[in-house]
Amino acid sequence: MSADERIPAALRALAGHGVHGASVDAEGHQREIAAIRVSAGDWERMMGPDGTTVADAVKAAGFRYVALDLAPADAGG
Amino acid sequence: MVLQRGAGELTTVTGEKRERLEAILRECESVVIGYSGGVDSVFLARVAVEVLGAGRVLAVTGKSDSVASWMEDTAREVARDFDIPWLEVETREMDDPRYAANPSNRCYFCKSELWTRLASVAREHGFKTVLDGSNADDVGDHRPGAVAAAENAVRSPLLEAGLTKAEIRAWSHELGLPTWDQPAAPCLASRLPYGIAVTPQRLRQVERAELALRALGFRDFRVRHHGDVARLEVHPSEIDRVAGHRAAIHAAVLKAGFRRALVDLQGYRRGALNEGLMATQLVQLGAAA
């Protein structure tokens, strides 16, 4: 599978907003969703007012939607 | 049924618009109304009964897999509580492969089916005019369903009277209608990205997940279907409640048959699935109906 260059770009965008140690997957039929998994602390912060700013930055990496995983931070997969 | 929010400062509906709506309804003489249980059609049916009398009004709800069960419940309950003559007819848009393929003008095929059925009901019951609940704010939106309405000679009294959504909500509140502050509730197929086939199974997945969120007290949101992934869009006014229900939402969405549950960071916004389409594509597809 060819590398998706949007993933490292999304991770850089997250780090630029102080979100470190995140993982990003491309989901959806057209891989149009940046599915982000973060620590519990970052999850709370991103669900607050910072969320839309971070979403805009990640979208700029080439995603149509930016979304947080609802699974608990320690869940696998 | 519908949770009540504070009325706050509701807009004022001018006497001129009220009179215009009543005049249009009188001109229609007897009416069959496409009645989804949403803000606009409930309001229209209620005013039509007031102006024309119950004997000259029939509110008709199209029943299919794409209609959420809570909308059907609302339609039935409001009709009962406000003495609106009501009928439910089965629609078969799912049998139309052009609809099931889910193009961006999908609504055209669904509404063609609905308005054809309602025109037939009107003929059978001797009613003169078929009405829909389009309002003045709907002009200019991507609404291929409006083409189907025009083809079936459906009139839109709220739009013709120049009533906006805010005015309809205010007037509905005045009339004591429980739908006055109900969020917009398009059909379940609107949760699937264009081009992804509309199937009863996918619609059921969406409905199960949305029912679970409604049970948790959420009222303005969408569960978007992306194959085995669900992407929740929650209105900004409710998004701060997601953290408190994270585990319950996650469990409910997985139970509905999704592999992964996501919450969109930008929250619910109308027409989010149109974001990937160029305006010209939408216009062309709509016109090609």
B58-87: per-residue pLDDT in tens?
Answer: 999 999 999 999 999 999 999 999 999 999
CB of B269 within 8 Å of a chain A CB? The answer is no
**Is this model's pTM higher than 0.90 or not?**
no
B261: chain A residues, CB-CB within 8 Å: 69-71
In the prediction, which pLDDT does B280 show?
Answer: 43
B160 three-class SS:
helix
Residue B248 pLDDT exceeds 80: yes
Q: How far is it, in rounded angstroms, from Cα B166 to Cα B137?
A: 9
The H or E element that residue A70 is part of is none
Q: Give the mean model confidence (pLDDT) for residues B21-27.
A: 98
- Position B157 scores a pLDDT of 98
Whole-angstrom distance, CA of residue B168 vs CA of residue B181: 10
How far apart are alpha carbons B263 and B202 in whole angstroms? 19
Nearest to A67 among B231, B243, B275 (CB): B231
B34 and B118 Cβ atoms separated by less than 8 Å = yes
Cβ of residue B266 closer than 8 Å to a chain A Cβ: yes
Mean pLDDT of chain B: 91
Chain B nearest-CA distance from A9, in A, is 18
Cβ-nearest to A46 among B231, B265, B267: B265
**DSSP 8-state code for residue B243:** G
Residues of A within 8 A of B276 (CB-CB) are: 30, 32, 64
Q: Which chain A residues are closer than 8 Å to B242 by Cβ?
A: 47
- Would you call A64 and B275 a contact, using CB atoms and an 8 Å cutoff? yes
Which pLDDT band, with edges at 50, 70 and 90, does B142 fall under? confident
Q: Do B266 and A48 touch (CB under 8 A)?
A: no
Nearest to B243 among A44, A65, A72 (CB): A44
Instruction: Please tell me the distance from the alpha carbon of residue B148 to that of residue B133, in angstroms, as a whole number.
Output: 14
What are the beta bridge partners of residue A33? A27, A65
- Six-digit token string for A44: 């709370």
Comparing A8-17, A20-29, B261-270, the range with the smallest average pLDDT is B261-270
DSSP helix/strand/coil, B4: coil
pLDDT at B159 over 90: yes
Q: Note the pLDDT of residue B119.
A: 97
Which pLDDT band holds residue B287 (cuts at 50, 70, 90)? very low
Mean pLDDT of B134-153: 87
Read off the pLDDT of each residue in B117-131 and give the average, rounded to a whole number. 97
Distance between alpha carbon B253 and the CA centroid of its chain, in Å? 23
B263/A28 Cβ within 8 A: no
- Residues with Cβ within 8 Å of residue A60, at least 6 apart in sequence: A9, A13
Task: Indicate the pairing of strand A65-69 with strand A33-37.
Answer: parallel
Chain B CB contacts of A29 below 8 Å = 193, 195-196, 226-227
Chain A residue numbers with beta carbons less than 8 Å from the beta carbon of B267 are 52
B262 touches chain A (CB under 8 A): yes
How many percent of chain B have pLDDT more than 90? 82
Q: Which residues contact B182 (CB under 8 A, 6 or more apart)?
A: B2, B38, B39, B74
Find the distance separating the first CA and the last CA of chain B, reported in whole Å: 36
Residue scoring higher pLDDT (B183 or A16) = A16
DSSP symbols for B75-101: HHHHHHHTT--EEEEE--GGG-HHHHT
Q: How many CB atoms lie within 10 A of CB B170?
A: 19
> B264's torsion region: left (phi>0), alpha (psi -120 to 50) or beta?
beta
Q: Is A55 near chain B, with CB under 8 Å?
A: yes
Contact B263 A68 (CB under 8 A): yes
Contact B265 A54 (CB under 8 A): yes
Model confidence over B217-242: pLDDT tens digits? 999 999 999 999 999 999 999 998 99
Digit-coded pLDDT (tens) for B169-222: 999 999 999 999 998 888 999 999 999 999 999 999 999 999 999 999 999 999
Euclidean distance between CA atoms B39 and B220, whole angstroms: 14
Q: What's the complex ipTM?
A: 0.94
**Whole-number pLDDT of residue B48:** 98
**What is the mean pLDDT of the segment spanning A48-69?**
95
